Amino acid sequence: MKIDLKLIVILILVLISGFFYFKWINASDDELARENKKLIGQIKDLDKQRDSLQVVKMKLEKDFNEIEKKVQERDLRIAKLNRDLQKSAEDLKKSEAALKAELAKMDSTNAEINKIKQFPPKREGEDLKNSLTKKLNQK
């Protein structure tokens, strides 16, 4: 292998390039170290925020579950009240129908009483005697 000027120049250029590359890597390490420390600090802050948010999230989930349970209980209560209300409405309709029937009977009875008062039955003889006997036995 022959050492000529080109080879020596190339070796010198490679060594100079290596030196400047090494210097560039080491020079930026200080800046990278500062940037790294800054990022590590930010990561720690974000971790603290994440942890505090997880605690808040768990509390909110617990509160949500409690509220949802109360809502379900009240929904059941409302459903029961609706059933009771419907049953009461049906009972009211039946009672109204029964009341109308009784009022109709009462009206017909009052009409008969008024008719008898206006035109009392005339009893004579044996019919009068039986009627008086019945009335006396009832008292």
Could you tell me the end-to-end alpha-carbon distance of the chain, in angstroms, rounded to an integer? Answer: 158
Instruction: Dump pLDDT digits (tens) for 69-90.
Output: 999 999 999 999 999 999 999 9
Higher-confidence residue of 104 and 23: namely 104
Q: What percent of the chain has pLDDT over 90?
A: 61
Q: What is the largest CA-CA distance in the chain?
A: 173
Instruction: Dump pLDDT digits (tens) for 43-62.
Output: 999 999 999 999 999 999 99
Q: Mean pLDDT, to the nearest integer, of 79-102?
A: 96
pLDDT(31) > 90:
no
